[in-house]
Structure 1
Amino acid sequence: MTDNNQNIILKTNNLYIGYKSKKKDIVVASNINFELEKGKLIGLVGANGIGKSTLLRTLIKVQPALSGSIIINNKNLAITNPQDLAKQLSIVLTEQLTSKNLSSYELVALGRHPYTNWIGNLNENDTEIINKSMDLVNISGLKNKKCYELSDGQLQKVMIARALAQDTDIIVLDEPTTHLDMYHKAYILKLLQRLTKETGKTILFSSHEIDLAIQLCDTMIVMKTNEVICDQPCNLIKEGVFESLFPKDLISFDNSTGSFRVSK
């Protein structure tokens, strides 16, 4: 086995994603093949309705694949039980919390659930990991604040800390910058970039902030109408992938600056 293969943490083989129905399968995207390396920040981008959330839900086993395979840590996702998966992959979704009466600390502590007994008792190691996770995200000062007292940006950082406390190799985030202003969008994505470097974890996130993803990501997965492309941002720019992402009547991509602009 080559060093490169040893460094691959998640890969897809001829993956088809979509929805099963009694009459026929509805395919959202097909023939998806990519390999994600350990310790990288990976952005999943594409136009609205292209299937980003469907792909993420399939990768985290919330939604079954129509065909093909997903391999995490050299094991087929299809035969990975929920308990084992929870120790390999943690998730930060955009859904609202069902209870905001929890303190920030209590919410982060939920990340230890795969490792605690059925009562949920925390041992010294659990407490150490929870505190370290909050330190990494710079929210130790919010430890005793209730979640309903937090701003959207603060709550997002607490959710990221909970994923860190779960201590998995991979963290998956669905639209982590939703509801945030421009500063906090950049702050959260810059935070994710720092966390990959400091923890060695692989972080995969979906986003509409393509300009920011180009600047900060090691790798990007670009979903287009007829194909899914995975590569480094610089290579994607050279290949003209972003130029054809949106209709050119309103938005164009400037290769020299690596950013989108409104067409004149």
Structure 2
Amino acid sequence: MLEQLVLHTESLAIGYSSKKDTSIISSDINIELKQGELVGLIGANGIGKSTLLRTLTKVQKPLSGTISLRDKHLEHYSNIDLSKVLSLVLTEHLASKNLTVFELVALGRQPYTNWIGSLSENDNSIVENAINAINLDELKHRKCFELSDGQLQKVMIARALAQDTDLIILDEPTTHLDMYHKAYILKLLKNLTESTNKTILFSSHEIDLALQLCDSIIVMLNDRTVQATPSDLISSGVLNELFPEDLILFDKNSGAFRVKK
């Protein structure tokens, strides 16, 4: 149903363009992100996942095609209006680790605060609710440099939650985490879609976990981009195209990749 669509693309081509040359990374991308769904983005290293996310979040321009967010072309959003509909969580060095957890989460309210950036009673309530939703109450007065990678990732998700957008996009949120915390973060994202009805898109190399938790998965391949439910991806054999078959195969029975003997 069109009214349930939060974001969709039509014939989208992504890549880089200069005066001398145009480099197309992927083209004819047609994807749909529906309200309340957890959507995974998977593909081999260098296939263009981060480029796609940067294009979907207006960090870089598409080469061609359209991106619509809530039935409005992405290019027609001002930066401040976009920040009220879409929030982005990147895996990168955090420059503000000297802030407390509460202060960092409160940065999510910037699109709504007045010109001096002071929080209203409503802003404070939203920040507290985000901290509570991610189970960070015991850490909210701690400095961010004191946190583990897993704890810091939870804080970044809480900041996006405090931004109160329809769509949250995360670029490899489980990088640098151990297996337990990888599963914890992705299960947390799944729970958030169910409790808030927000749409969450994340890129990841944790394909086995994505297949277990996602409502739909976008697969970037060398010659095309496919979106389907996990069960349809497994039955169609698309997952065997992700990696060279000389080393890794996808086992339909176990729902996991295995090394070829």
Structure 2-normalised TM-score? 0.99
What is the rounded CA distance, in whole Å, between the counterparts of 1:226 and 1:95 in structure 2? Answer: 29
Deviation at 1:99, TM superposition (A): 2.2
Equivalent residue number for residue 96 of structure 1? 93
Equivalent residue number for residue 253 of structure 2? 256
Equivalent residue number for residue 190 of structure 1? 187
Q: Does 1:205 align with 2:202?
A: yes
Equivalent residue number for residue 156 of structure 2? 159
What is the rounded CA distance, in whole Å, between the counterparts of 1:8 and 1:99 in structure 2? Answer: 34
Q: Show structure 2 runs of 5+ residues with no match.
A: none
Q: How does 1:207-222 map to 2 (within 5 A)?
A: 207-222=204-219
- How many residues are aligned here? 261
Q: Does 1:119 align with 2:122?
A: no
Amino acid in structure 2 at the alignment position of 1:94: T
Deviation at 1:79, TM superposition (A): 1.1
What is the rounded CA distance, in whole Å, between the counterparts of 1:263 and 1:194 in structure 2? Answer: 35
What is the rounded CA distance, in whole Å, between the counterparts of 1:38 and 1:221 in structure 2? Answer: 16
What is the rounded CA distance, in whole Å, between the counterparts of 2:229 and 2:202 in structure 1? Answer: 15
Structure 1-normalised TM-score? 0.98
Equivalent residue number for residue 243 of structure 2? 246
What is the rounded CA distance, in whole Å, between the counterparts of 1:140 and 1:251 in structure 2? Answer: 43
Amino acid in structure 1 at the alignment position of 2:71: N
Deviation at 1:245, TM superposition (A): 1.0
Deviates more, 1:16-25 or 1:154-163: 16-25
Q: Does 1:75 align with 2:68?
A: no
Q: Does 1:8 align with 2:5?
A: yes
Q: Alpha-carbon deviations, 1:201-232, whole Å to 9, x = none?
A: 00000000011000000010000000000111
SS in structure 2 at match of 1:48: coil
CA RMSD, aligned part only?
0.6
Q: Show structure 1 runs of 5+ residues with no match.
A: none
What is the rounded CA distance, in whole Å, between the counterparts of 1:195 and 1:177 in structure 2? Answer: 16
SS in structure 2 at match of 1:31: strand
Identity score, percent? 62
